[in-house]
Amino acid sequence: MSKNTAEVVIIGGGISGCATAYYLAKLGVTDIVVIEKDFLASGSTGRCGAGVRQQWGLKMNVLLSKESIKAYETLNEELDTGLDIEFKQEGYLMLAYTEKMVEQYKKNVALQKALGIEVELITSEEAKEIVPYLNTEGLLAATFCPTDGHINPFITTNSYAEAARRLGVRILTFTEVTGIDVEKGRVVAVETTKGKIFTNKVLNAAGGYSREVAAMAGVKLPTHPERHQILVTEAVAPVQGPMVISLHHGIYCQQAPHGSFIMGFGDPNELKEHVITSTWHFLEEMAAKILPLLPPLAELRVVRQWAGLYNMSPDAQPILGEVPQLQGFYNAVGFSGHGFMLGPVTGRLMAELISGRQPHMDISPLSLERFEKGELLREPSVV
């Protein structure tokens, strides 16, 4: 390592780490090292479903996702790296099959509209107009937001990284953090497989390994990894614009810009540990779930399947901010499956905080201390 000091060390080369590095450098803090144990976007970011949406029932989530999507809309021009993040902005269609879901979606839409989101509660007939081969049996209503969509996580992360490098940020890939040195209640250095880096500011953006990184500094995080499996099919002609989400069936399905379909579902029995192997069980259950909802898609050939880690927090909301008992140690973790869609706003907020500025949005409700105070944030249940 040619230089063993840095003003800021960021642990994790996913969307949160690379976006924070870029926005920090834009604020003038350019003496930054990003450390990634593998290649950029090799963790949770590169293993996500690549969807971005603003349809939430929690005000904080609506505000965060709204800002991120606004940033994504012009990110190619801002970063100016020659890379295309492939933002396919054709909406999210969220399906409601019970009266409870309909009533909650009505409240969600009212909240989203009040916060400036273009969204509507629509009938099952209108949903079928948007996705003609959707089986509407039992469907009571749906919500649709046309500005939600799909983005390539690998290209987006690497574009942030390239723009950050252009501003002087150093990025060390295939480098593992082995320890964090603390003295008198503050961070003083980060130990890596390529040597020690002396620093007074560390951002933990390590995704599924955030708990273990925090423990190196003596910080206890209430996060845990959870495996989630996804598949991608053969490419076919464009037939589906929006992402279709049915929380009733527990699945999501979207056609990517190049024609392949990305599908996944939430399995409450998934492993709560660092395992990213795929299973035949997932393929069989995915086929069983997709057949009654979107029948023609069950005939598509699967090209690949993979698994990634959600970094779960107790209330399934992010943990953002500096740890009170350890000066200079910051967390951007616990996104619970939504880290990629919040990448730009996370980067901006953490950059403001780390550089000593007042964050432009109040993130105190997302602090680590909320768990001690019992002030948890939760999305309203629709099932």
Distances (CA, A) of 372 to 112, 319, 323, 336: 30, 13, 13, 19
Between CA 322 and CA 328, with CA 323 as vertex, the angle to 5 degrees is 60
Specify the amino acid at residue 335.
F
Q: Quick one: average pLDDT of 331-347? A: 97
87-114 tens-digit pLDDT: 999 999 999 999 999 999 999 999 999 9
120 close to 129: Cβ distance less than 8 angstroms: no
Res. 8: pLDDT tops 70: yes
More confident residue, 266 or 191: 191
289-301 tens-digit pLDDT: 999 999 999 999 9
167-191 tens-digit pLDDT: 999 999 999 999 999 999 999 999 9
The sign of the CA dihedral 280, 285, 286, 288 is positive
Res. 16: pLDDT tops 70: yes
Distances (CA, A) of 244 to 16, 274, 382: 26, 28, 16
Q: Domains along the chain? A: 8-48+154-222+315-373 (3.50.50.60), 89-147+224-312 (3.30.9.10)
Q: Quick one: average pLDDT of 17-36? A: 98
Please tell me the predicted confidence (pLDDT) of residue 137.
Answer: 96
308-318 tens-digit pLDDT: 999 999 999 99
Distance, CA of 127 to CA of 145 (rounded, Å) = 12
Please tell me the predicted confidence (pLDDT) of residue 158.
Answer: 98
Q: By three-state DSSP, how is residue 280 classified?
A: helix
Query: Could you tell me the pTM of the whole model?
Result: 0.97
Please tell me the predicted confidence (pLDDT) of residue 217.
Answer: 98
Q: Quick one: average pLDDT of 74-85? A: 98
198 close to 189: Cβ distance less than 8 angstroms: yes
Q: By three-state DSSP, how is residue 208 classified?
A: helix
Distance, CA of 167 to CA of 288 (rounded, Å) = 49
Please tell me the predicted confidence (pLDDT) of residue 2.
Answer: 60
